[in-house]
Amino acid sequence: MKIASWNVNSLKVRLPQLTQWMAEAQPDIVALQETKLEDAKFPVDELAAAGYRAVFSGQKTYNGVAILTRGQAPTDVVTDIPGLDDPQRRILAATVGDLRVVDLYVVNGKAVGDPKYDYKLDWLAKVREFLAREHERHPNLVVLGDFNIAPDDRDVHDPVAWRDSVLCSVPERAALNAITGLGLHDSFRLFEQDAGHHSWWDYRQAAFRRNLGLRIDLILLGEALKGAARAAAIDRVPRQWERPSDHTPVTLDLDI
């Protein structure tokens, strides 16, 4: 089984790239972030024609998450979690076969010290509580998405320049560590330990060509699935296409 996560930065704009990539990569489950579409405008028919069923939670212009599956339809769908009264569409959980999949589009935070940064830390704490309950109920848990946090300095093109900045600050990394501390593993780091691997590059300053990026798109898996992990990768190819997202897909292969 191949699982993928991709912040498409507007599904309306990126639908041709998404369907092309899925036809080539053949993922079984795809979690999307920043769909930026109201539910009534979600391209259900176009994705069905590509062979995928979809559950989604969206809003106009901003945010939005979706889970696409081949074969089995997602069930037991959750779009809002206890204790978090948030109109922003950033969380989507669903059961796909034997897996519980939680798709997250984590708050950006804007800047350290900004009210949005404080909100991000509170949001992450509440999501951790939700994930703790999900992991207890569903040992075969996969948590994936755009985390808007680079886990450590290996995931940052210039750690000195980014030190103590949003996406790389100590409190944000501590919040992410609190989530992985539930018994979740960063699947990419099960296979690759070197620095220089990124999943997001700014559109400015020729950042992609110069590999000035961050690894902020993650696939975390529960301890029960760790032994089934066979490969993890960052597919840089779609970032080279015309009108790309600023993120590129990340993938995990499971032997289940």
Backbone angles phi, psi at 153, to 5 degrees: -65, -20
Give the residue numbers marked as catalytic.
105, 146
29-33 and 2-7 beta bridge pairing: parallel
Which amino acid, residue 54?
A
DSSP-derived secondary structure letter, 72: S
Residue in the block written with tokens 């499971």? 254
Q: Locate 253 and state its tokens.
A: 């292969």
CA distance 246 to 238: 10
Q: Locate 184 and state its tokens.
A: 């979740």
Residue in the block written with tokens 């779609």? 238
Edge-to-edge order in the sheet of strand 65-69: 53-57, 65-69, 29-33, 2-7, 250-254, 229-234
**What count of Cα atoms within 13 Å lies in the side-chain half-sphere of residue 106?**
30
Q: Locate 86 and state its tokens.
A: 């948030």
Residue 1: strand, helix, or coil: coil
CA distance 84 to 134: 15
Strand intervals (E) in the chain:
2-7, 29-33, 53-57, 65-69, 75-78, 91-96, 99-105, 141-146, 184-186, 200-201, 213-214, 217-222, 229-234, 250-254
